[in-house]
Structure 1
Amino acid sequence: MEEAVIVRAKRTPIYKKNGRFGHLGVHELLSPLLRAVGGDVVSLIDDVIISNAVTPGGNVARLAALHAGFPETVPGITLDRQCSGGLDAVRFAAALIESGMGHCYITGAAESPSTVLRPRAMFSTPEIGDPDMTEAAENVARRYRISRKEQDAYKVRSFERAWCSWKQGFFKRCIVPVTGCASDEAFKRKRPMQRLVERARPLKAGGTVTAANSSGIHDGAAVLLIMSRSLARKLSLTPVLTIISGNTVGFSPLLPSIGPVKALSELMDKQHMVPADLDRIEVTEAFAVKIVAAIKLLHLQEEQVNCHGGALTIGHPFSASGIILCIHLFYQALEEHLSYVAAATGSGGGVGTSLLFHGI
């Protein structure tokens, strides 16, 4: 059976909704990335698999491929599993390669909430309950007794990690400039985060989730070039991450922030591993409570998790955040001697997805 490997990984800078990228559609965010990772191997690409949660309609993967100047022979498919969709795009490409049905894919995700005016889609039925994401995060905080103090402390720690990584040039390696922008909006000015998190008011009366310990709404895109190991060898491209396994699980739509715990627990059981076997774990920082829950319930060490910060500082372009997790792992694997690493997300409707990789 062929192994699926990641050989390239890039993303756009991340900007707030209605900000610097407010005039760009999903396909316009994607096309520079497609050219950057696939331009010299475009004749070998079997498909472009893109996740998009806040959809403008149509097949944005196909549109982006055409906009990038790819030949008409390169198709495209767009999928939606909300914030878990990016990891699922990777999972699907890996399955196609391992089955022998293809050899080379660009996978990724993109979001342009600035250009979509539709209200939020339903994630669950009225009979079960369809909470907004803040309410759902509060449900997890109450269920697992996660205090505001814990959430705020994680936010500050993640913020400092992200700024340190930016100063060291970690994110510069990840980014393809778009419309002259080459850095994330978050790093224009450093704010006194400790004071901000302490002063922030709860988003729900009597709650613990605040604007400071939550991510915002952002525009951005991220992609990976995934191919069979044999093709990478033929092209003299270095496999940086090998995709070992992955899974998607369903659970209560009232508790979407517990998704990484559910998905990683099942994946570790399937692989006869425990989280302590992982050198690094990347989890989408939609809310600080999500990461605190994962650390507590999976008995993780803080130094394992989100070593370069995450969406709480950089921004959260929904399904693209899952691909950004993979990009962080990709460049960590290039810089360090890593063995097993994992990425995990939780998403609206009560779905969690995780992926297990082996480093070079």
Structure 2
Amino acid sequence: MSSSPVIIDAVRTPIGTEHGSLKNVTVDQLVTPLIAELAARCPEPAAISQVILGNLRGPGGNLARYCALDAGLPQQVTGLTVDQQCGAGLAAVECARGALALNPGFILAGGAQSASTQPRTFWPAASADAPGGLEEFTRAPFVPERFDDPGMGLAADLLAEECGIGRARQDAYAARSHQRAVHSIDAGVFDDEIVPIAGVTTDERPRRGFTQQRLARFRPVFRPGGTVTAANACGVNDGASLVLMTDAHTHARLGIGGLRILDLVTVGGTPARPGIGVVPAVRRLYERTGLGPDDFEVVECNEAFAGQILACLDEIGIPDERNCVQGGALALGHPWAATGAVLLTRIFTQLVREGRGGRGLAAIAIAGGMGAAIAVEAC
């Protein structure tokens, strides 16, 4: 483990609701200030070699390269943009991990999503009656037609039913996520990890008045008689997050703190229930590291849907009250490609900034029936 790379800093933007506080901020305008901030904090900025950025449905081109140049990094700094849907932020970290093993120095890795400003895509229409012969392309197929490929919301609803996760438990969990996030905002917990963007300094989605009783009034949105509602599911969001990584030798030479990556895995699973992808990923992580549920001081498994994450937590042996104790995506939001890096930033704050020490676990389900998980340790 001593040869593993180390995260020495982590930041994020405030998370906005689609067409909300960050509605006029393009994805590059979310990322560039984070690159500039971390480059300014880097102990040896001249040794930054690469920016690796997760993004999906963005403006095209190589967003990482564009933002690196826009932030004023030298032309010699390369850029790599990756798309692994909701796993893109952690995929960027995985790429950086491999790159640092070959070329020591510093890499910025993370993800960004601007649902508010992402381009609209049009394809030739199946019907000749469509205006202009075009129809809007709104949702990519995640697997070939021979596989079951339900929408994420419907799949989460079916998963909750199959795992016996009832509506009351989902609403109670979601209400607690909002209450925790509001408390964290009031206590200034997020202040040091957030870089203000366009005058926005705080997360937009958390609701002060959410209780289980209030959430019970919301109607199912994905199927009649279902249990997933707009209130016990994450939002559609804008945001970005980046971590600053270095190799083990450079970290030891500098003598600074951080989060050592113990392991990072991405696994495939059933496309029909993509939300359960957290489970095989975390189980693989347990096997490879020899760690178990009780070995992590901080757990940040992404709250895409209350029923979905509750089903996953039950399977990986983590009590639901231990997950996202400062508020998770149900309250803060889920800016798809950014979320993996947001999870790491949240762990960095709790274990490093707050000085708790110990280990952290983050995991996320990925469209198409995959999952990713990472174990880190304060050092």
TM-score range, shorter chain: over 0.9
Output the CA distance in 2 between the equivalents of 1:69 and 1:293: 45
Residue number in structure 2 paired with 1:33? 34
1:306 Cα deviation (Å)?
0.9
SS at structure 2 position matched to 1:140: helix
Partner of residue 5, structure 1: 6
Matches within 5 A, 1:39-54: 39=40, 40=42, 41-54=44-57
Which residue matches 2:103?
Answer: 101
Q: Distance in 2 between matches of 1:194 and 1:146?
A: 15
Of the candidates 296, 300, 316, which is equivalent to residue 278 of structure 1? Answer: 296
Which residue identity does 1:102 align to in structure 2? P
Structure 1 SS opposite 2:364: strand
**1:324, distance to aligned residue in structure 2 (A):** 0.8
Gaps of 5+ in 1: none
Secondary structure in 2 matching 1:46: strand
Q: Is the 8 A contact 2:262 2:289 kept in 1?
A: no
Shift of 1:303: 4.2
Task: Quote the residue 1:85 is aligned against.
Answer: 88
Q: Is the contact between residue 31 and residue 67 of structure 2 (CA under 8 Å) also seen in structure 1?
A: yes
Aligned residues: 357
1:127 maps to 2:146: yes
Instruction: State the 4+ residue runs in structure 1 displaced beyond 3 angstroms.
Output: 232-236
Q: Contact conserved, 1:2 with 1:100, CA < 8 A, in 2?
A: no
Superposition TM-score, scaled by structure 2 size: 0.90
Shift in Å at residue 70 of structure 1?
1.2
- Distance in 1 (alpha carbons) for counterparts of 2:34 and 2:8: 14
CA-atom RMSD in angstroms: 1.6
Q: Which has the larger radius of gyration?
A: 2
Which residue is equivalent to 1:74? Answer: 77
* CA deviation vs aligned residue, 1:148-202 (integer Å, no higher than 9, x gap): 1111111011111111111111111110011111111135x62243343110000
Q: Give the aligned residue type for 1:32.
A: P
Choose from 201, 207, 226 the match for 2:245.
Answer: 226
1:6-21 maps to which residues of 2 (within 5 A)?
6-21=7-22
Matched letter for residue 50 of structure 1 = L
Letter in 2 for 1:87: L
**How much identity, in percent, do the aligned residues show?**
36
Q: CA deviation at 1:131?
A: 1.2
TM-score, structure 1 normalization: 0.95
CA contact (8 A) 1:91 1:355 kept: no
TM-aligned CA deviation for residue 234 of structure 1 = 4.0
Aligned to 1:112: 114
Aligned-pair CA distance for 1:233: 4.3
Which of 249, 255, 260 pairs up with 2:273? 255
The yes-or-no answer on 1:183 pairing with 2:202 is yes
* Residues 122 and 69 of structure 1: CA distance in aligned 2, closer, same or farther (over 3 Å): same
Secondary structure (helix, strand or coil) at the match of 1:76 reads strand
Alpha-carbon distance in structure 1 between the residues aligned to 2:147 and 2:205: 37
Shift of 1:292: 0.6
CA contact (8 A) 1:83 1:319 kept: yes
- Secondary structure of 1:34's partner? helix
1:355 equivalenced with 2:371 (yes/no):
no
Written as runs of structure 1 = structure 2, the 5 A alignment for 1:317-356 is 317-334=335-352, 335-356=354-375
CA offset at residue 89 of structure 1?
1.1
Rounded Cα–Cα distance in structure 2 between residues aligned with 1:278 and 1:234: 27
Give the match's secondary structure for 1:199.
coil
**Is 1:205 aligned with 2:235?**
no
Deviation digits for residues 259-303 of structure 1 (CA, Å, limit 9, x no counterpart): 111100111012222222222211111111122112211221334
User: Post-superposition shift, 1:143?
Assistant: 2.2
Q: Residues of 2 paired with 1:158 and 1:129: CA distance?
A: 31
Whole-angstrom CA distance in 1 between matches of 2:184 and 2:56: 28
Q: Judge conservation of contact 2:175–2:210 (CA < 8 Å) in 1.
A: no
3-state SS in 2 of match to 1:2: coil
Amino acid in structure 2 at the alignment position of 1:151: Q
**Cα contact 1:139–1:254 (8 A) shared by 2:** no
C-alpha change, 1:235 and 1:359, in structure 2 (3 Å) is: closer
> Which segments of 5 or more consecutive residues in structure 2 lack a partner in the other structure?
122-137
Q: Deviations over 1:54-108 (max 9, x none)?
A: 32211100111111111111110000111111112112212222x3333210001
- Does structure 1 retain, via aligned residues, the 8 Å contact 2:109–2:244? yes
Give the AA of the match of 2:284: E
Equivalent residue, structure 1, for 2:61 = 58
**Corresponding residue of 1:310:** 328
Residue 256 of structure 1 and its aligned partner are, at CA, apart by 1.1
Q: Quick one: distance in 1 between partners of 2:37 and 2:367?
A: 31
